[in-house]
Amino acid sequence: MCSDLDRTPRTLLVCDRSSFLDEKNRVSPQVEKLHFNHKVSVLLPGCSVTPSNLDLVMNTFSSFYLIKKLPVHELLDPGLQGAINQGVVYGLSFGTRIDEDTCVALMPKGRLVLSLDKDSYELLGVEGKPSRFNHRTCSRFVVSVDLTDSSMAPGGRGHTRLLTGLRSHLQLQTDFLLSHHPEGGASLQPLLSRYDWSKHEPEVSCRHLTDLTCPDFRSCDCHSLLEWIGAVEADISCESSSSSFLSSFTCPEPNDVLSHALSVSICGLLLPHDVQRLIQELRCHLQQTQLESWASLTVHGFIDSPVSWGDNEHGVLSGGENFYNLLMFPDHTYHLHLATGAYDTCPP
Collapsing DSSP states into helix, strand and coil, what is residue 103?
A: strand
Residue 320 has pLDDT above 70, yes or no: no
Mean pLDDT to the nearest integer, 126-137: 83
CA dist 11 and 227 (Å) reads 13
Among 283, 235, 274, smallest CA distance to 51 is for 283
CA dist 175 and 108 (Å) reads 19
Say if CB 126 and CB 103 are below 8 A apart: no
Q: For residue 157, what are the β-bridge partners?
A: none
Mean pLDDT to the nearest integer, 223-240: 82
* Number of alpha carbons in the 13 Å side-chain half-sphere of residue 240: 7
Residue 183 has pLDDT above 80, yes or no: no
**Strand intervals (E) in the chain:** 12-19, 37-45, 64-71, 89-93, 103-106, 111-117, 129-130, 140-146, 173-180, 197-200, 203-215, 255-270, 295-301, 322-328, 333-340
CA dist 275 and 324 (Å) reads 12
> Percent of the chain scored above 90 by pLDDT?
51
**Diameter of the chain measured on Cα atoms:** 69
pLDDT digits (tens, 9 = 90+) for 288-302: 876 678 999 999 999
Q: Per residue, what are the HEC states of 272-325?
A: HHHHHHHHHHHHHHHHHCCCCCCEEEEEEECCCCCECECCCEECCCCCCCEEEE
Cis peptide before 254 (omega within 30 of 0): yes
pLDDT digits (tens, 9 = 90+) for 18-30: 999 998 999 999 9
Backbone angles phi, psi at 333, to 5 degrees: -80, 160
CA dist 154 and 152 (Å) reads 6
Say if CB 100 and CB 141 are below 8 A apart: no
Per DSSP, the residues of 65-87 read EEEEEEEGGGGG-HHHHHHHHHT
CA dist 230 and 117 (Å) reads 34
Residue 186 has pLDDT above 80, yes or no: no
CA dist 46 and 30 (Å) reads 28
Higher pLDDT, 279 or 88: 279
Burial of 161 (0-12, 13-18, 19+ CB in 10 A): middle
CA dist 168 and 338 (Å) reads 41
Q: How many CB atoms lie within 10 A of CB 253?
A: 11
pLDDT digits (tens, 9 = 90+) for 245-258: 555 677 878 778 88
pLDDT digits (tens, 9 = 90+) for 281-290: 999 999 887 6
User: What's the whole-number average pLDDT of the chain?
Assistant: 86
pTM of the model: 0.90
Residue 312 has pLDDT above 70, yes or no: yes
Residue type, 286: L
Task: Name every residue whose Cβ is closer than 8 Å to that of residue 310 and which is 6 or more positions away in sequence.
Answer: 33, 348
The confidence band for 345, taking pLDDT boundaries of 50, 70 and 90, is: low
> What counts of helices (H) and strands (E) characterise the chain?
8, 15
Task: Name every residue whose Cβ is closer than 8 Å to that of residue 129 and which is 6 or more positions away in sequence.
Answer: 141, 142, 144
